[in-house]
Chains A and B, each alone.
Chain A
Amino acid sequence: MRFIHTADWQIGMKAAHVGTAAETVRDERLQAARRVVKLAEQARAEFVVLAGDTFENNGVDRILIQRTADILGKFGGQVYLLPGNHDALDPCSIWEHPAWASHDNLRVLDKAEPVDVPGGILYPCPVHEEHSSRNPVQWIKAANSPRIAVGVAHGTVEGLQLEEPEYPIPRDAPTLAGLDYIALGHWHSYATYPDSDNVVRMAYSGTHEPTKFGERDSGNVLLVDIEARGEHPVLTPMKTGRLSWTVIEQELRQPGDLARVSSMVEKLEDPASTLLDLRIKGVLWADESQELSRIREISQSRFLFSRLDDSCIVPYPDDESWVSGLPAGSLRDAALRLSELADPSYPGERLPGTSFETASRALLELYALVSEVSK
């Protein structure tokens, strides 16, 4: 039996964290779905299993359902879709949409009963509500099945650090249920769970396209091969994600550090497909403020999305060359005062509106004006 195991497509997800790139990020998930189908064709998979959360919410735009069904409908084999906790089998859920009936190869696994598939039997565990502490695989008794038995479940493998695990699945669920493999969905990163014999019979494929910054090992599907009943499953992760979610965190300690950051940013490949989260902190030398602006310009213009957090940048406190260049009097005094306030460790009383971030920014504004006037 050879099939593609994927999950957590989260079609229609909101991407408020990426601002104006949200629509692109959302669209990319459908593009990734096409790549999954293409990959499945190329790998000659017999069928595809989506282990839940194909859609972000049952309230997504109905056009997305039809598009997804049409994409999956193009696959030459069967596609089995399990309702997850985001797209649970609620009344008027996305699974009631007629799109699923518009393609013969699509089957929604809406009942907890065995389903014949090429080469074996699927034991699906459809989800009916968003939250539950019930073990979804509990019903499966496949020990006596003569054919390859594959479970499809959506939940949390016990052992993950959570206060209240959703749909907890025991670590030894494949053994308890008599299954050769359990295709899991719910967590977006690829992860495997070897049994007591160190055989991996349970895995999360992860989401087919990353969904946020810091997501480890996502953007993949799993090609699962099981030779025969009782044999070890062979899992091959295959990349389907296109967008790159890059986080760059740098601290400026000495002159030139900012230029180095700028260089790092410029060297990033394929910025049009990259979402960049750039966090810079530390001290800024006066003559490097232009460089900071430059970095902002590059990141905003070249990348699909960029976020520059420079709120923790403070002008270098000992760098008063430009301050001493100010005309003596109120302006110089004001610049010195702002320098004091820009120091996060300023011991004096801070009146409202005099946070160190504001003071730093004020100082930077003054510096920019000085530069402007002196031209």
Chain B
Amino acid sequence: MILHAISLKGWRCFAESFQIGPFSDGLNVVHGPNGVGKSTIFEALVRALIDSHRVRGRDAEALRPWGRSLSPVVTVEFSHGGTKYRVSKGFLDKAYCELERKEDRRFVRFSEGEAADQFVRALLTKNPPGRGLARRDNWGLAQVLWAPQGELALLSLSGDVVADVRQMLGAQVSGPESGRLERRIRELYTGLYTTTRKLRSGRDAPELVTLQERLEDANERWGEAMERQQEFEELSRKVEDLRSRQAEAERTSHELEKRLMLLGPKVQEYNKLLSTRSEREAKVHEAEALHDSLKQCMDNIAKTRKSLAKTQEGCSKLHDELSDRELEARELRAKVERATKNLEDKRKERPKVKEAQDETELARRYLEALQRASNLQERVKKVRKLDQKLKELSGQRSKLVAPDNATIRNIRRTVKAHDEARLRLDAALITLQIVPSKKGNLTVVEAEESGSRTLLPEEPVEVKGSPRVVVDLAGVARLRAWGPVVSIDDMRKSLAKHANALSKLTARFHTADIEALEALNERGTELDKRITKLNTEIEATLGGSPLDDVERELSHVQSETNTILGQRRKWAKKAPDLDRLAKNAEAIRDKFVADVETAEQKRDAAQAAHAAANERKAATVARLEETETRLRDLQETLVELTSDGKTDVERLKESKAIARKWEAAKADFEEVEDKLRTYEYDPRTDLEKLEGLRKSADAEARKALSDQNREEGRLEQLTALGTYSSLAKIEEEIAVLNEAVTREQLRADAIRLLYDTVEECQNQALVAVGRPVEQAATRTLQRIAGTRIGGIQIGEHLEPACVLPQRTDESVSIVEVSGGEKEQIYLATRLALAEVLARNERHLVVLDDVLTATDSLRLARILRILEEAAERLQIVILTCHPERYGALTETQFFDLEELLRA
């Protein structure tokens, strides 16, 4: 791309239209002082070619001239591919983009809007900028070709630029046909794979992915179908087992049935023997019982007879014993009687005891009554005395007319009010004071109090009145006094009211003197206190009871005392000795008690002995009765035992016959026992066991049948599904899919291998191509800086990675190099890359005030290099030091200041 001209309007410092151009195809130097707009022109070039006309934001707003609301507009004329174009872009308020193409010597509209943006941008980069103004990594090839102020360094190109460069280099290496083929390869590849080398998915998924998904689904279904088929086979085996089990159980049941049938007769015979055995055993027992019974009878008769004799003897002995017991009892009864009489005699002493006690009691009562009477008398006396005092005080109090505290307070208030009323009135009255010097007579004509008054020398007389005071001094003068007219009626009324009230309050006290009233009040209060105190004392003395009750009690006690004295007159002279009487009564009682106790003990002992004798007698009587009863029983028993009418001999004979029968029965029993012993075991046990087993076997067979039926039902359900056929169909489907997947996978793998191989070969080619860039850059650098610095090594992203000094085998990072040499390294690399890019078409290189750290000597060499480069590249240098570039030949110089002035 070659730049021809740039026009600006409303763009930063270019508020008005400004145009620069036409630029030379070779070297161009645009110079001007700081701030004249060099970098602005460069910026406008970038915006025109790379940014979208619709860009907005703060950075875009900054394109407006300061303080003006103008829409920035830029127009760039350029050539590309042999065709001239003119692009105009307006930003912000009037955003537009118009691209014209020169046809038949005039510019004709070619494209507009977004399409125009894209067309122009595509000359340098494939990737549009994002939001906001384009950054350097959106510049595409311009990252290499254009170096803004202070950004000569070529640090790392964006991936797409590297790819673009490589592509361009690759296209140069391969030719146009390669491009089509490579595009097709890429199309095939991208049709299958994403940029992350994974197979596409979703809507864009290739057939392989769809097949794989279908295969996965089919495999899932296969799993389910296989499960069902396996279940079918398992269930079939299970049913077979259950059928076998059921058949086995039935066989077992039949087997047991047969054994039971064989065992039956044997058990029957055994039962029959058992029955016979029972019968014969019964007979044995019967004979035995009969024999035993007869023997028993005979024994009993003998025993009864023996007992009878013995009992009779016992009876006789008991009769003797009874006689002895009766005698003993009689003797002891007499003894009891004597002891009882003795006791009664002792008890007769009781009244003496009571007498002594009564005496003592009486004495105690008498003394207590005396004491109580004395107490009562004292209390009564005291009460009467107090009562007397009380009466006196009460009399005084009743006579005293004294105001109480409330009345006193009331009087004080009223006096105060009265005095205040008086003062107010006095204050309101006109006062005429006369101090006579001699005796005279005064007549009050008008005043509060009219009338005559005697005047005495040096004794002042005051006359008050209102509204004036008029007095006559006889023979001297009529005096009038007046003052401010004040209505004193209310005051008078008030005074009168208070005086009235006071009068009412104090009338009954016969004095209005507050001190006297207070004295009365005090006295009254004092009297009240003393009265209250006396009442309290009286109450305490009486103990809460009325005096009458106390006096009554006293009278009662005195009466009791007199009554006792009536019984014991000697006590009136001398009071009884209570202690002595009490001790005496105690002694008499103690003796009485001891005597009675002794007599009682003796009586009780006699009674006990008598009772014991009676008991022994009763026991003897009882034994005698019992013996006689037994005797009677034995006699009856004997009669009963011999009631068969047989003699002893006859019984003995009978007993022997029965014994023989018994022996015969035992022999019969033994016979059947022998037969039973021939059986080794009880066949009934076997029968029971077999029947139990048969029941179990039947139950087992039923269960097995039930299980079998249940599982057969399940199996039939599965059978109806045709599990094998379903499985077969799915396996066939899987086989078809597997084949298709294999086929497609091979194709996909082959396409990826093809793509990877082509790319790998391209990279290798590019690496090979990159070498010349390295070499070219190294040559340029060595021309500028000499061989000391060595060669430049280009990195993977076409950036200068390091230098290879001659004197050392180790590389040196660019960071370690001086500032000036860095500039030179970057310039050399940019120029080498630009030359590569320009192999098919001249490209524009822009250098905005770079090489500021380069010394003049090296700058001179750089200028020569730039002149040579200008044979293949269009170079535009922006600088504020035009003198540094003055040595350039065949160079178009643009003085911005002059242009602006123009």
* Complex contacts, B170 vs chain A, CB 8 Å: 329-330
Interface flag for A347 (CB, 8 Å): no
Question: Chain B, 156-180, contact with A by CB distance < 8 Å: what is the 0/1 string?
Answer: 0000000000000010011101101
Interface flag for A333 (CB, 8 Å): yes
Interface flag for B664 (CB, 8 Å): no
Interface flag for A56 (CB, 8 Å): yes
In the assembly, what is the distance between CA of A22 and CA of B745, in Å? Answer: 24
In the assembly, what is the distance between CA of A60 and CA of B229, in Å? Answer: 10
Question: Chain A, 57-101, contact with B by CB distance < 8 Å: what is the 0/1 string?
Answer: 111111110000000000000000000000000111100000000
Q: What distance in Å separates the Cβ of A296 from its nearest Cβ neighbour in chain B?
A: 10
* Complex contacts, A61 vs chain B, CB 8 Å: 722, 724-726
In the assembly, what is the distance between CA of A365 and CA of B756, in Å? Answer: 14
Q: Once the chains bind, are B735 and A17 in contact (CB under 8 Å)?
A: yes
Q: Once the chains bind, are A333 and B724 in contact (CB under 8 Å)?
A: no
Interface flag for B712 (CB, 8 Å): yes
Q: Once the chains bind, are B175 and A362 in contact (CB under 8 Å)?
A: no
Q: Once the chains bind, are A62 and B720 in contact (CB under 8 Å)?
A: yes
Q: Once the chains bind, are B732 and A59 in contact (CB under 8 Å)?
A: no
* Complex contacts, B764 vs chain A, CB 8 Å: 330, 333
Question: Chain A, 333-375, contact with B by CB distance < 8 Å: what is the 0/1 string?
Answer: 1100110010000000000011001111110111001101100
Query: Which of A330, A362, A365 has the most C-beta atoms of chain B within 10 angstroms of its own C-beta?
Result: A330
In the assembly, what is the distance between CA of A60 and CA of B232, in Å? Answer: 11
* Complex contacts, B188 vs chain A, CB 8 Å: 365, 369
* Complex contacts, A331 vs chain B, CB 8 Å: 174, 178, 181-182, 758, 761
Interface flag for B878 (CB, 8 Å): no
Interface flag for A327 (CB, 8 Å): yes
B207-237 interface with A by 8 A CB criterion: 229, 232-233, 235-237
Interface flag for A12 (CB, 8 Å): yes
Q: Once the chains bind, are A12 and B724 in contact (CB under 8 Å)?
A: yes
Given contacts A90-B240, A92-B719, contact A330 B174 (CB under 8 A): yes
A6-39 interface with B by 8 A CB criterion: 12-20, 22-23, 26
Report the nearest B residue to A64, measured CB to CB.
B725
Q: Once the chains bind, are B732 and A362 in contact (CB under 8 Å)?
A: no
In the assembly, what is the distance between CA of A360 and CA of B747, in Å? Answer: 10
* Complex contacts, B178 vs chain A, CB 8 Å: 327, 329-331
Q: Once the chains bind, are B175 and A12 in contact (CB under 8 Å)?
A: no
Interface flag for A160 (CB, 8 Å): no
* Complex contacts, A92 vs chain B, CB 8 Å: 235-236, 239, 712, 715-716, 718-719
Q: What distance in Å separates the Cβ of B175 from its nearest Cβ neighbour in chain A?
A: 5
Given contacts A365-B754, A366-B754, A373-B181, contact A60 B722 (CB under 8 A): yes
Interface flag for A162 (CB, 8 Å): no
Q: Once the chains bind, are A90 and B236 in contact (CB under 8 Å)?
A: yes
* Complex contacts, A327 vs chain B, CB 8 Å: 174-175, 177-178, 181
Other-chain residue from B236, B732, B751 in contact with A22 (beta carbon distance below 8 A): B732
In the assembly, what is the distance between CA of A13 and CA of B181, in Å? Answer: 49
B743-772 interface with A by 8 A CB criterion: 746-747, 749-754, 756-758, 760-762, 764-765
Given contacts A90-B236, A91-B236, A362-B757, contact A59 B751 (CB under 8 A): no
Q: Once the chains bind, are A16 and B731 in contact (CB under 8 Å)?
A: yes
Q: What distance in Å separates the Cβ of B730 from its nearest Cβ neighbour in chain A?
A: 9
Interface flag for B727 (CB, 8 Å): yes
In the assembly, what is the distance between CA of A330 and CA of B175, in Å? Answer: 10
Interface flag for B734 (CB, 8 Å): yes
In the assembly, what is the distance between CA of A288 and CA of B598, in Å? Answer: 164
Q: Once the chains bind, are B753 and A330 in contact (CB under 8 Å)?
A: no
Q: What distance in Å separates the Cβ of B246 from its nearest Cβ neighbour in chain A?
A: 12
Given contacts A16-B732, A22-B732, contact A338 B757 (CB under 8 A): yes
In the assembly, what is the distance between CA of A338 and CA of B749, in Å? Answer: 13
Q: Once the chains bind, are B735 and A333 in contact (CB under 8 Å)?
A: no
Interface flag for A328 (CB, 8 Å): yes
Interface flag for B723 (CB, 8 Å): yes
Q: Once the chains bind, are B757 and A334 in contact (CB under 8 Å)?
A: yes
| Chain B interface size, under 10 / 10 to 19 / 20 to 34 / 35 or more | 35 or more
Interface flag for B243 (CB, 8 Å): yes
In the assembly, what is the distance between CA of A18 and CA of B734, in Å? Answer: 11
Q: Once the chains bind, are A329 and B725 in contact (CB under 8 Å)?
A: no
Q: Once the chains bind, are B727 and A91 in contact (CB under 8 Å)?
A: no
Q: Once the chains bind, are A353 and B725 in contact (CB under 8 Å)?
A: no
In the assembly, what is the distance between CA of A90 and CA of B236, in Å? Answer: 6
In the assembly, what is the distance between CA of A354 and CA of B716, in Å? Answer: 53
Interface flag for B739 (CB, 8 Å): yes
* Complex contacts, B274 vs chain A, CB 8 Å: none
Q: Once the chains bind, are A369 and B229 in contact (CB under 8 Å)?
A: no
In the assembly, what is the distance between CA of A105 and CA of B67, in Å? Answer: 112
Interface flag for B611 (CB, 8 Å): no
Q: Once the chains bind, are A13 and B728 in contact (CB under 8 Å)?
A: yes
Q: Once the chains bind, are A59 and B724 in contact (CB under 8 Å)?
A: yes
In the assembly, what is the distance between CA of A338 and CA of B753, in Å? Answer: 8
Q: What distance in Å separates the Cβ of A273 from its nearest Cβ neighbour in chain B?
A: 19
* Complex contacts, A357 vs chain B, CB 8 Å: 746
Question: Chain B, 701-721, contact with A by CB distance < 8 Å: what is the 0/1 string?
Answer: 000000000001001101110
* Complex contacts, B229 vs chain A, CB 8 Å: 59
Q: Once the chains bind, are A334 and B754 in contact (CB under 8 Å)?
A: yes
A302-350 interface with B by 8 A CB criterion: 307, 311, 326-331, 333-334, 337-338, 341
Given contacts A329-B170, A333-B765, contact A58 B753 (CB under 8 A): no
Interface flag for B184 (CB, 8 Å): yes
Report the nearest A residue to B237, measured CB to CB.
A90
Q: Once the chains bind, are A369 and B181 in contact (CB under 8 Å)?
A: yes
Interface flag for B736 (CB, 8 Å): yes
* Complex contacts, B739 vs chain A, CB 8 Å: 19, 307
Q: Once the chains bind, are A59 and B719 in contact (CB under 8 Å)?
A: yes
In the assembly, what is the distance between CA of A56 and CA of B722, in Å? Answer: 12
Q: What distance in Å separates the Cβ of B665 from its nearest Cβ neighbour in chain A?
A: 67
Query: Which of B185, B720, B757 has the most C-beta atoms of chain A within 10 angstroms of its own C-beta?
Result: B757
Other-chain residue from A59, A90, A337, A360 in contact with B725 (beta carbon distance below 8 A): A59
Q: Once the chains bind, are A334 and B240 in contact (CB under 8 Å)?
A: no
Query: Which of A58, A60, A327 has the most C-beta atoms of chain B within 10 angstroms of its own C-beta?
Result: A327
Given contacts A62-B719, A91-B236, A91-B712, contact A56 B757 (CB under 8 A): no
Report the nearest B residue to A370, measured CB to CB.
B181
* Complex contacts, B722 vs chain A, CB 8 Å: 59-64
In the assembly, what is the distance between CA of A93 and CA of B734, in Å? Answer: 27
In the assembly, what is the distance between CA of A13 and CA of B758, in Å? Answer: 48
Other-chain residue from B174, B236, B239, B736 in contact with A328 (beta carbon distance below 8 A): B174
* Complex contacts, A91 vs chain B, CB 8 Å: 236, 239-240, 243, 712, 715
Q: Once the chains bind, are A353 and B749 in contact (CB under 8 Å)?
A: yes
Q: Once the chains bind, are B747 and A365 in contact (CB under 8 Å)?
A: yes
Q: Once the chains bind, are A329 and B175 in contact (CB under 8 Å)?
A: yes
In the assembly, what is the distance between CA of A189 and CA of B739, in Å? Answer: 28
Q: Once the chains bind, are A361 and B735 in contact (CB under 8 Å)?
A: no
* Complex contacts, A338 vs chain B, CB 8 Å: 753-754, 757
Query: Which of A93, A358, A370 has the most C-beta atoms of chain B within 10 angstroms of its own C-beta?
Result: A358
Query: Which of B229, B232, B749 has the most C-beta atoms of chain A within 10 angstroms of its own C-beta?
Result: B749
- A19-B739, A328-B175, A329-B175 given; 17 more Cβ-contact pairs under 8 Å: A12-B724, A15-B732, A16-B731, A18-B732, A22-B729, A61-B725, A64-B722, A328-B174, A330-B762, A331-B181, A333-B765, A361-B746, A361-B747, A365-B747, A365-B750, A365-B754, A369-B185
Interface residue ranges, B against A (CB under 8 Å): 170, 173-175, 177-178, 180-182, 184-185, 188, 229, 232-233, 235-237, 239-240, 243, 712, 715-716, 718-720, 722-729, 731-732, 734-736, 739, 746-747, 749-754, 756-758, 760-762, 764-765
Q: List 14 A-B contacts (CB under 8 A).
A: A18-B732, A19-B739, A26-B728, A59-B229, A60-B724, A64-B722, A90-B237, A330-B182, A334-B760, A337-B761, A353-B749, A365-B188, A366-B754, A369-B185
Q: Across the A-B interface, give the 10 residue pairs with the lowest CB-CB distance, nearest first.
A: A14-B728, A61-B722, A59-B724, A361-B750, A91-B239, A16-B735, A330-B761, A329-B174, A57-B724, A61-B725
Interface residue ranges, A against B (CB under 8 Å): 12-20, 22-23, 26, 56-64, 90-93, 307, 311, 326-331, 333-334, 337-338, 341, 353-354, 357-362, 364-366, 369-370, 372-373
